[in-house]
Structures are given as C-alpha cells and as structure tokens.
Amino acid sequence: MTDDAATVPAGIDTTVPHPARIYDFFLGGKDNFASDRQAAEAAIAGFPDAPLVARQNRDFMRRAAAAMVKEGIRQFIDLGSGLPTNDNLHQITQRTAPDSRVVYIDNDPIVLAHGSALLADNKTTTVVTADLRDPQGVFDACEAAGIDFEQPVGLLMIAVLHFVPGDVSGLMHTYRSRLATGSWLALSHVTADGMDPERAEQAAGTYARTPSGLHYRTPEEIQALFGDSHLLEPGVVATRLWRPEAVEGLPQIGDNSRPTYPMVLAGVSRFDAA
C-alpha cells in the first residue's frame, strides 16, 4: 500500500509501525506502509524465520478453528484478528457451518477499513475496532453483533497477548468468566524460552517503535492464561505441534516441519461444566 494520504484510512498514523501491518508483511500481504515494512525487514534481517513464525501461527489458528467447528461451536470472537487474509476465520467456519457468526476485533482501524469492504455482503461477520484491554467494550460490541454469551463461544486470542504488557491475569479472568459452559479458548503467545537472552531482546527490539512493544511470557505464564478451563491435548506446545495432522479442505501455508525462534506457544481449552 502507498502512503499517499488519499489511500490511507482515517485514524492511521503511517509513520508508526503497527503489529497488524508488520504481520501482514510477514504473510506476504500488501496492507502495510513504509514504516511497517522497515520494521518487518529489520526483523527478518535478524530473524529470517519471522515470516515462517507468522505462517505456522496462522496454520495453528486454522486447525484450532476447524476443531471448534467440528465440535459444534457456531459463534466466534477473534481478539486481535489482524488484517483479513485468505482463509480467514469466517471462511474456515462458514465453509463448514454457514450459520457461524464471527466477530473480528482489532485495535488497528485499518482492520475495520479493509474488513468492512471485504465483508459488505456477509451478514454474520462483523469487524469492530476495539482494544481487548477494555473487556466490557468488547462484550458490548460482540452482543451488538449478535453474539449470545448464554451459548458456547469460540474465543480466539491468537498472537495478540504479547502486545499487552504487564499482568494480564485479571483481564483473562474477566474473559474466561464471561464464557458459557461448552465454550472454547484458542490462544498463542510468543516466548523467549530456549533462546539466548541477547537474541531474545534483539527480536523484541524490532517491535520497539510499535505502540505497545513485544512482551515475552514464559511457558508457565502462557499456560496460566487458560485458568482452570480444560486444556485439550496436546496441551501448550509450539504452534506447529498443535494437532499437526492435516485437516481435510484446510490448506497449510507454513512449513510446519521445523522449529522456529522466537517460538510461539499455542493451546486450546474447553470450558466444561464445573
């Protein structure tokens, strides 16, 4: 995308790189500006695996979503959804279950700008600009979009919480508490586990100019995000290792055969009756 003011959606400062657009660049998308490309290229120069990390993460999201649909989930909230790319959550879910309702939430207004155009004819998919640190705002927007919190929901927090610094345990408790029995939570999060500390700091540094920065959590801290919901097999593992078996009709975009650093850990849980 050019940085020409005429083509830049309102509310976007193109001089500041943003995680949504850096990630879009990693995935080969075109919805990014010079500052995003610079940050992404700096990341790739230090960490050539960065695009693969993004692809493996995306593949995990798709397998997790397919698992939820298979188990009957028909309402989805994707927090920190990112820019729409091919085979987004609504396509995966509505292909199998056309009545699936999907709400995409992201704090980068570019997601709404692009999503609204793409989804103009889709009556069961909504894009909202909101910050996940405001759970009540998120719940209100979801209800306005037709989400019924009395029924099971698939909540996705994929590669987003590492953009939220500090203690997120209270925030996670608020989200988990709102979900009905039978709901699912899919989450992925970057960790510096297994990395040389200097290299880990260098990797995080590539996000230094973004509004929130990048914040690692340990495997234990990531597992704790699921609270007492029932963590499904195989537990919290590298994205590429979460139920890696091919799913019919679900193309994979990453080479999931080898590990990457920094590693993104992923897990999926279910909210069973107490």
Ligand X SMILES: C[S@@+](CC[C@H](N)C(=O)[O-])C[C@H]1O[C@@H](n2cnc3c(N)ncnc32)[C@H](O)[C@@H]1O
Tokens of 190: 């970057």
Q: x/- contact string, 50-79, with ligand X (CB under 6 A)?
A: -------xx--x------------------
**Binds ligand X (CB under 6 A): choice among 91, 122, 202, 212:** 212
132 and 164 in contact (C-beta within 8 Å)? yes
Shortest distance in whole angstroms from residue 47 CB to ligand X: 14
Q: Is 190 in the site for ligand X (CB under 6 A)?
A: no
Q: How many residues bind ligand X (CB under 6 A)?
A: 22
Tokens of 203: 């990797």
Q: b/e map of 153-181 (b: 16 or more CB within 10 Å)?
A: bbbbbbbbbbbbeeebeebbeebbebbee
* CA–CA gap between residue 112 and residue 127 (Å, rounded): 6
Q: x/- contact string, 19-38, with ligand X (CB under 6 A)?
A: xx--x---------------
Shortest distance in whole angstroms from residue 99 CB to ligand X: 23
* CA–CA gap between residue 105 and residue 139 (Å, rounded): 11
Nearest residue to 163 via CA among 193, 134, 196, 133: 133
> Binding to ligand X (CB under 6 A): which residues in 87-106?
106
Q: Is 112 in the site for ligand X (CB under 6 A)?
A: no
* CA–CA gap between residue 57 and residue 190 (Å, rounded): 10
> Binding to ligand X (CB under 6 A): which residues in 118-177?
131-133, 158-160, 163-164
Residues forming contacts to ligand X in the complex (CB under 6 A) are 18-20, 23, 57-58, 61, 80-82, 106-108, 131-133, 158-160, 163-164, 212
